[in-house]
Structure 1
């Protein structure tokens, strides 16, 4: 089954007949709407819809995609994801080259010492960070690890497989949901990305929590919000985050963190900035 078919199947299973104004008759072998029920709601033939879900039909029209989105009650991010899956051709996979941060981007985040900043690649791997960004999210790792592709941290891998990172997030379940939702968006945009496929496979095998969330096919383009942190040096704090995307096709994202002025969180962030316990190599940060 294709990614498009899997997305349609999972979303169809999440809806009950009563949710969409239909009467359900008798017990169902599988949860959710039947294919023919969804096809009827979308105004397409059940045969065509079955072929679409099975990956046997391509190039669905905008009208059909809009009808399916309405029938499945998709939100804006999910609608965009549906279109991406329907329009993204499957290409022959090639071994990707290690990604690199542009020198100008690195100088930019280093010029903002009071604002934690992390630059992420197409797979949520860390391409670079400034000193405060490093101290905030991964000070237990070597500061220069993003510059060595073989040791480059990945924010999603850290969240699910690294004990220090798990302890950092007071609301870990919310953070995990957000991370998987974002990774689904990235995977939909790059279905031929060998490294991304390998990452998903690794996390699915090593984390039952990731596997459970991934199977639900959540989708959200998380570009802003708040994070509740339990930092080992400065304690509890709440930070807002913004994700900035450079206007090129590199797929890089700049993650910036701020705290509301005059709040205990802002004081904690300033204390972390001034702290001498976090060395540039990160070896003294919460190490065990």
Structure 2
């Protein structure tokens, strides 16, 4: 679930034949992700590490198992990182994007776990109105408002 501004930010990731869309699949299998994330290597590391945490938390989840099999079949990068057994637990930081419609955009994020629903995480993004990418954020807001 996301709001309109998040859908404008992640429009490429949501533009998929797979239902439901999945950011790990986008990061590891869609070549557009390597341009979209200015620190793609770090995002890929964090995505695989997060999947490893989730696999330990819910080892019998059939949807997760299907996703892991799919990623192993489609992404040598996933397989290499998965076999490294790294676990990444990140909860806040800055995400650097290169959005195809608005250009470079740095957003601070916080990932908040919902205690009442284990496995559910809400990610919030904020941006500094005085930051170097304020014009890009304004353009993203206009995309969000477009019909």
Same fold (TM over 0.5): yes
User: Which TM-score applies when normalising by structure 2?
Assistant: 0.88
Instruction: Classify the secondary structure of the residue corresponding to 2:133.
Output: helix
What is the rounded CA distance, in whole Å, between the counterparts of 1:277 and 1:131 in structure 2?
8
In the alignment, structure 1 residue 185 sits paired with structure 2 residue 41: no
Q: Post-superposition, which runs of at least 4 consecutive aligned residues in structure 1 deviate over 6 A?
A: none
What is the rounded CA distance, in whole Å, between the counterparts of 1:172 and 1:278 in structure 2?
28
Gap runs ≥5 in structure 1? 1-127, 280-288
What is the rounded CA distance, in whole Å, between the counterparts of 1:140 and 1:171 in structure 2?
16
What is the rounded CA distance, in whole Å, between the counterparts of 2:38 and 2:54 in structure 1?
25
CA RMSD of aligned residues (A): 2.1
**1:219 is matched with which residue: 74, 83, 87?**
87
In the alignment, structure 1 residue 137 sits paired with structure 2 residue 10: yes
**1:205 is matched with which residue: 52, 66, 73?**
73
| Deviation at residue 151 of structure 1 after TM alignment | 1.8
| Deviation at residue 261 of structure 1 after TM alignment | 2.7
Within 5 Å, give how 1:143-182 maps onto structure 2: 151-182=19-50
What is the rounded CA distance, in whole Å, between the counterparts of 1:133 and 1:192 in structure 2?
30
User: Which TM-score applies when normalising by structure 1?
Assistant: 0.47
Gap runs ≥5 in structure 2? none
- Kindly indicate whether the alpha-carbon contact (under 8 Å) linking 2:5 and 2:144 is maintained by their aligned counterparts in 1: no
| Deviation at residue 139 of structure 1 after TM alignment | 4.8
Q: 1:197-218, CA deviations, whole angstroms, 9 ceiling, x for partnerless residues?
A: 1111110111000100000011
Instruction: Classify the secondary structure of the residue corresponding to 2:116.
Output: coil
Q: 1:155-179, CA deviations, whole angstroms, 9 ceiling, x for partnerless residues?
A: 1011111233332111111110011
- Kindly indicate whether the alpha-carbon contact (under 8 Å) linking 1:228 and 1:238 is maintained by their aligned counterparts in 2: yes
Instruction: Classify the secondary structure of the residue corresponding to 2:69.
Output: helix
2:124 is aligned to 256
